[in-house]
């Protein structure tokens, strides 16, 4: 695979002196020194992080074992909820501080201080205990971004119940699959949610999912929409508010061994069968606290907004556990970021005075699509940091964010992580690391990353290869629920003693890592291995292009040929000339062998609710003219019909 064109530039930007002087790590020398120490003496680094948290019984051993069998603070006892809630509620300086602001799509608002959160969480933890839930039992949670959702999850962590959040947009079939696979005893849901002005009846989906499922003893229903008719099954279904009325606000935390399972979240597998990723409660706390502190540079006075849905692990890493453990004030939002008007995200940033924002590249590209004039109509000068995760943030979107936020001085932190890593092993450290548009930054403390060839040998800088992690770290998944063999085969069979990420990447001469995409997101054209991200980045550099997705199509002569799906800026019209320009752009930036066989202009892309483009669906539409596979992850199923229509239109 050739070196991507975007690596040819040595473009980099330093954080402002004003920002650097108030950050936890203030220069590159400090980062490099601490990073080297954390690799050579990881026990010292993680011990220092643990010093900032509260243990109920702390043993002297920091870590033991090696991949894939390892533990952090074995036999030590702690409680995640204690660190995220009680530790702050008992502190006079934090007790009355807002922990969570919340806003619904219709505009309704609420908030919880740390003291209020402690009371609500304790009451619901007692509800769980009254229903017979014990440490280690699994609960499935099918709710959107609500204050009550956070109360539910923290209550589970308080008494050692393992929670499994299921994205509140998945179908009944997908929900049932996860409930059955996790052996959940209890399902907790809201009766409905709002999405783009529509009411989505979540309880109806739960009822369908539970047909023929015997393991679930009860369903607790929170009435998000009070006047909505909600079917309740006598003897099984219970009302959230009624249960909370009679519950005591006094509930001691349950001491948990640091490596005991804390949460279970399903991610897609190559076979199509979801994988139940198991994270240790204590390890997850330790790592996410460190990520939130150093990668987001969270300060006591910050107002922070992570737009991720609670169904995705990002919100657990950087809000539920990491953010609250830091004592942050975080904004939660229920609906679509551009509804009912395109400036909704900007308006909320202005109104809540959000100074640190964490979102997905697709959301940032959505802002770019709406243009800079829209951004200029809002007051965004106070924004200090924008972080990104989910897929690579292309340089064009990076520069757009830099122009419209923070008077051109905002820190842009493009990160990389996976459900399995339970955090972001790659990121810039605000204040310390120079930013390179498009890169995922540098390795985090205690994480030994490497680029290797197919034989597992380390590769020099500027050479594409497989991204692996050679050191154990606290948030790394400990198992696939009920399938240890699959866990070992998926992540540890390729290179003994290392975690195989399944991603391809390059490390440049500055030490920055550039993630090129999944190993299977490489198109082999007549023997040339081409990264789809490299092609997409070249396309997005054209001023007419807002978004691009490249997939491979079988070809009898070349094996595979690239096909590009492109969304144009509203100032441009679909034409043969633009299609030709885009093909030539690929040829100039990458080579003639990478010329797309087709440019398909579409107004919409199939995306998950977290903003990722579902390229599998584009491939399926391209090759079969339809989507017959699983569509439960789609934010809006109507886009498929729109796509099919637009693919047929002439240039």
pLDDT: which is higher, 626 or 63: 63
The tokens for 207 are 């009822």
What is the tens place of the pLDDT at every residue in 299-347? 999 999 999 999 999 999 999 999 999 999 999 999 999 999 999 999 9
pLDDT band at 624 (very low <50, low <70, confident <90, very high): confident
Dihedral sign (CA 296, 300, 304, 308): positive
Using CA atoms, how far residue 215 sits from 26, 160, 275, 493, 543, in Å, is 52, 19, 20, 34, 55
Beta strand 449-452 with 385-388: parallel, antiparallel or unpaired?
A: unpaired
Query: Which phi and psi (to 5°) does residue 226 adopt?
Result: -60, -40
Q: Which are the contacts of 53, defined by CB distance < 8 A and separation ≥ 6?
A: 78, 83, 285, 286, 289, 325
pTM for the model stands at: 0.87
- Which percentage of the chain shows pLDDT scores above 90? 78
Predicted local confidence at residue 636, as pLDDT: 76
- Displacement of CA 138 from its chain's centroid (Å): 22
Predicted local confidence at residue 559, as pLDDT: 78
Q: Quick check: 42 pLDDT over 70?
A: yes
CATH superfamily of 521-647: ANL, C-terminal domain (3.30.300.30)
Q: Angle at which helices 344-352 and 361-370 pack, to 10 degrees? A: 100
pLDDT band at 593 (very low <50, low <70, confident <90, very high): confident
pLDDT band at 460 (very low <50, low <70, confident <90, very high): very high
Lowest mean pLDDT among 173-182, 231-240, 612-621, 623-632: 623-632
What average pLDDT does the segment 525-531 reach?
Answer: 70
Predicted local confidence at residue 535, as pLDDT: 87
Q: Is 170 helix (H, G, I), strand (E, B) or coil?
A: coil
Predicted local confidence at residue 649, as pLDDT: 66
Predicted local confidence at residue 630, as pLDDT: 66
* Other beta carbons within 10 Å of 40: 9
* Other beta carbons within 10 Å of 637: 12
End-to-end CA distance of the chain: give it in Å, rounded: 32
34-37 long-range contacts (CB < 8 A, ≥24 apart) are 34/445, 35/442, 35/443, 35/445
* Other beta carbons within 10 Å of 642: 14
Lowest mean pLDDT among 6-10, 367-371, 546-550: 6-10
Predicted local confidence at residue 83, as pLDDT: 99
What average pLDDT does the segment 131-147 reach?
Answer: 98
Predicted local confidence at residue 270, as pLDDT: 46
Predicted local confidence at residue 6, as pLDDT: 61
Predicted local confidence at residue 641, as pLDDT: 85
Question: What are the counts of helices (DSSP H) followed by strands (DSSP E) for the chain?
Answer: 22, 34
Lowest mean pLDDT among 24-38, 139-153, 496-510, 511-525: 511-525
What is the tens place of the pLDDT at every residue in 61-110? 999 999 999 999 999 999 999 999 999 999 999 999 999 999 999 999 99
Predicted local confidence at residue 372, as pLDDT: 95
Nearest to 473 by CA among 600, 283, 246, 211: 283
Report yes or no: 411 and 385 within 8 Å, Cβ to Cβ.
yes
Q: With residue 174 as reference, give the H or E element that holds it.
A: helix 172-182
Beta strand 261-267 with 275-280: parallel, antiparallel or unpaired?
A: antiparallel
Q: Which are the contacts of 94, defined by CB distance < 8 A and separation ≥ 6?
A: 88, 114, 327
In the predicted model, what is the mean pLDDT of the chain? 93
Predicted local confidence at residue 563, as pLDDT: 95
Domain spans, the chain: 521-647
Residues pairing with 278 in the sheet = 264, 479
Using CA atoms, how far residue 49 sits from 102, 262, 309, 574, 641, in Å, is 30, 19, 27, 54, 50
Predicted local confidence at residue 9, as pLDDT: 72
- Displacement of CA 258 from its chain's centroid (Å): 23
Burial of 405 (0-12, 13-18, 19+ CB in 10 A): buried
* Other beta carbons within 10 Å of 508: 15
Lowest mean pLDDT among 32-41, 115-124, 500-509, 631-640: 631-640
Predicted local confidence at residue 1, as pLDDT: 47
Q: Quick check: 271 pLDDT over 50?
A: no
Predicted local confidence at residue 243, as pLDDT: 99
Nearest to 513 by CA among 392, 388, 361: 392
* Other beta carbons within 10 Å of 18: 10
Task: Report the C-alpha gap between 443 and 416 in whole angstroms.
Answer: 10
Lowest mean pLDDT among 164-173, 278-287, 552-561: 552-561
Tell me, letter by letter, the H, E, C secondary structure of 25-51: CCCHHHHHHHHHHHHHCHHHHHHHHHH
The tokens for 534 are 């490299």
Predicted local confidence at residue 518, as pLDDT: 77
pLDDT band at 610 (very low <50, low <70, confident <90, very high): low
What is the tens place of the pLDDT at every residue in 417-452? 999 999 999 999 999 999 999 899 999 999 999 999
Q: Quick check: 412 pLDDT over 70?
A: yes
What average pLDDT does the segment 150-174 reach?
Answer: 94
What is the tens place of the pLDDT at every residue in 179-223? 999 999 999 999 999 999 999 999 999 999 999 999 999 999 999
Q: Which are the contacts of 82, defined by CB distance < 8 A and separation ≥ 6?
A: 54, 56, 158, 253
What average pLDDT does the segment 168-188 reach?
Answer: 92
Total count of residues recorded for the chain: 651
Dihedral sign (CA 53, 58, 64, 68): negative
Using CA atoms, how far residue 302 sits from 98, 297, 357, 524, in Å, is 11, 9, 10, 46
Q: Quick check: 583 pLDDT over 90?
A: yes
């Amino acid at each position: 695979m050739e070196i991507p064109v975007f690596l040819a530039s040595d473009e980099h930007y330093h954080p402002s002196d004003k920002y650097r002087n108030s950050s936890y790590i203030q220069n590159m020398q400090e980062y490099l020194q601490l990073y080297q120490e954390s690799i050579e003496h990881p026990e010292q680094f993680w011990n220092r992080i643990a010093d900032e948290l509260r243990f109920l019984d702390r043993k002297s051993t920091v870590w033991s074992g090696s991949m894939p069998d390892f533990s952090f603070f074995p036999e030590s006892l702690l409680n995640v909820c204690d660190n995220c809630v009680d530790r702050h509620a008992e502190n006079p300086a934090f007790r009355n501080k807002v922990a969570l602001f919340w806003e619904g799509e219709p505009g309704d608002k609420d908030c919880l201080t740390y003291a209020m959160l402690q009371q609500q969480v304790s009451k619901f933890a007692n509800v769980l205990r009254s229903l017979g839930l014990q440490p280690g039992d699994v609960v499935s949670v099918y709710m959107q971004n609500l204050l009550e959702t956070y109360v539910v999850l923290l209550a589970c962590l308080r008494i050692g119940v393992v929670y499994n959040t299921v994205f509140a947009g998945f179908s009944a079939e997908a929900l049932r699959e996860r409930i059955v696979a996790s052996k959940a005893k209890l399902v907790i849901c809201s009766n409905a949610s709002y999405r783009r002005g529509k009411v989505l009846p979540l309880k109806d989906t739960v009822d369908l999912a539970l047909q023929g499922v015997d393991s679930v003893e009860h369903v607790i229903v929170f009435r998000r929409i009070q006047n909505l008719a909600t079917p309740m099954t006598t003897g099984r279904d219970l009302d959230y508010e009624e249960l909370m009325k009679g519950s005591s606000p006094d509930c001691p935390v349950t001491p948990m061994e640091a490596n005991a399972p804390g949460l279970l979240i399903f991610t897609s597998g190559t076979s199509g069968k979801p994988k139940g990723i198991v994270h240790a409660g204590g390890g997850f706390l330790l790592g996410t606290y460190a990520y939130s502190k150093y990668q987001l540079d969270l300060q006591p006075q910050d107002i922070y907004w992570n737009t991720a849905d609670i169904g995705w692990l990002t919100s657990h890493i950087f809000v539920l556990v990491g953010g609250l453990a830091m004592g942050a004030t975080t904004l939660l939002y229920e609906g679509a970021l551009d509804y009912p008007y395109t400036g909704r995200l900007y308006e909320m940033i202005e109104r809540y005075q959000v100074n640190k924002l964490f979102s997905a590249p697709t959301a940032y590209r959505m802002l770019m699509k709406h243009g800079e004039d829209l951004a200029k109509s809002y007051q965004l000068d106070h924004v200090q940091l924008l972080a990104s995760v989910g897929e690579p943030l292309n340089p064009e979107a990076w520069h757009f964010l830099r122009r419209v936020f923070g008077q051109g001085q905002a820190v842009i932190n493009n990160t990389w992580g996976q459900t399995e890593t339970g955090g972001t092993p790659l990121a810039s450290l605000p204040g310390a690391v120079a930013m390179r548009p498009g890169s995922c930054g540098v390795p985090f403390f205690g994480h030994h990353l490497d680029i290797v060839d197919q034989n597992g040998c380390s590769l020099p800088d500027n050479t594409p290869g497989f991204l692996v992690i050679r050191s154990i770290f606290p948030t790394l998944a400990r198992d696939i629920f009920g399938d240890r063999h699959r866990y070992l085969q998926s992540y540890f069979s390729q290179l003994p003693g290392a975690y195989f990420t399944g991603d391809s990447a390059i490390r440049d001469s500055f030490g920055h890592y550039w993630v090129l995409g999944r190993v299977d997101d490489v198109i082999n054209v007549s023997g040339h291995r081409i990264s789809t991200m490299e092609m997409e980045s070249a396309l997005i550099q054209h001023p007419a292009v807002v978004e691009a997705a490249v997939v491979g199509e079988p070809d009898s002569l070349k094996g595979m040929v690239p096909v590009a799906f492109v969304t144009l800026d509203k100032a441009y019209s679909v034409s043969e000339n633009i299609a030709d320009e885009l093909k030539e752009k690929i040829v100039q930036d990458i080579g003639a062998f990478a010329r797309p066989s087709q440019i398909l202009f579409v107004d919409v892309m199939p995306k998950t609710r977290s903003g990722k483009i579902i390229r599998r669906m584009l491939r399926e539409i391209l090759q079969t003219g339809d989507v017959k596979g699983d569509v439960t992850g789609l934010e809006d199923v109507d886009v498929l019909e729109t796509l099919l229509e637009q693919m047929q239109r002439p240039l």
